[in-house]
């Protein structure tokens, strides 16, 4: 490939990435929590950006609750342990509820729904749902990593003196393990973000801590949404 073809391919990946509503939402989320980190809860430009970006992000999430509602009623893969099934379904139910209630919060903060007290109450309930879904995700990822670890050990025993990294099944499971480890880190950090937004531990989880954790998880989400690079053609 020429340098022009390479540049065109890379630019195409950027366009593909930015065309995803989810990717744009996570970029805005990074801006939101980055601003929260800078403001540290103090009035000023950074706090204004934080609040305005938070409101703008809610538009990206309109009707997104349908995704997790679909996941809630979808069948699970055969052989999945019951505790992991329950955790997965609980996560879907809580996240779907959070996203649904978040739409009412958007209506309230946009001035369409006039009851401010109820809007704030619904917003707080929605954040508790998000906190619960993050806890369920964290526990589910720990369980799935345990299952993967057991499968990888079995492959290692069967391979004996063979290089395990040359085995396709082992490499696939190792890749999946790395992805789940990253998802575990993200969900665990999101628990801290939810605690910060709910002000459950205001002395320890300050707006700056919330912003730092939220910014980090946003970058992780952006990374997870990156498209796979095209394979270079060999001649």
| DSSP code string of 120-183 | HHHHHHHHHHHHHHHHHHHHHHHHHHHHHHHHHHHHHHHHTTS-GGG-HHHHHHHHHHHHHHHH
pLDDT of residue 1: 56
pLDDT of residue 229: 62
User: What number of other Cβ atoms are within 10 A of residue 9's Cβ?
Assistant: 13
* Predicted structure pTM score: 0.89
User: What tens digit of pLDDT does each residue of 179-192 get?
Assistant: 999 999 999 999 99
CB 227 within 8 A of CB 17: yes
- Helix, strand, or coil (residue 45): helix
Q: To 10 degrees, what angle do helices 21-39 and 207-224 make? A: 160
Q: How far is CA 171 from the centre of its chain?
A: 24
Token pair for 134: 């993050």
User: How many CA atoms within 13 Å lie on the side-chain side of 131?
Assistant: 15
pLDDT of residue 230: 58
Residues of the chain short of pLDDT 70, as ranges, are: 1, 229-235
């Amino acid at each position: 490939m020429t340098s022009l073809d390479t540049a065109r391919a890379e630019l195409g990946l950027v366009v593909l990435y930015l065309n995803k509503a989810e990717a744009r939402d996570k970029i805005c989320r990074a801006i939101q929590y980055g601003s929260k980190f800078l403001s540290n809860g103090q009035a000023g430009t950074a706090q204004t950006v934080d609040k305005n970006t938070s409101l703008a992000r809610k538009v990206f999430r309109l009707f997104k609750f349908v995704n997790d509602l679909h996941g809630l009623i979808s069948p699970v893969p055969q052989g999945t342990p019951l505790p992991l099934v329950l955790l997965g379904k609980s996560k879907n139910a809580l996240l779907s509820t959070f996203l649904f209630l978040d739409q009412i919060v958007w209506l309230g903060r946009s001035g369409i729904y006039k009851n401010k007290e109820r809007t704030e109450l619904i917003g707080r309930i929605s954040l508790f749902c998000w906190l619960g879904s993050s806890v369920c995700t964290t526990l589910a990822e720990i369980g799935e990593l345990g299952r993967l670890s057991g499968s990888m050990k079995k492959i290692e025993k069967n391979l004996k003196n063979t290089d395990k990294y040359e085995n396709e099944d082992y490499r696939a499971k190792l890749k999946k393990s790395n992805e789940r480890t990253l998802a575990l880190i993200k969900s665990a950090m999101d628990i801290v973000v939810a605690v910060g937004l709910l002000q459950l531990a205001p002395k320890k989880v300050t707006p700056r801590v919330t912003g730092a954790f939220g910014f980090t998880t946003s970058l992780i989400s952006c990374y997870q949404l990156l498209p796979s690079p095209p394979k270079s053609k060999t001649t």
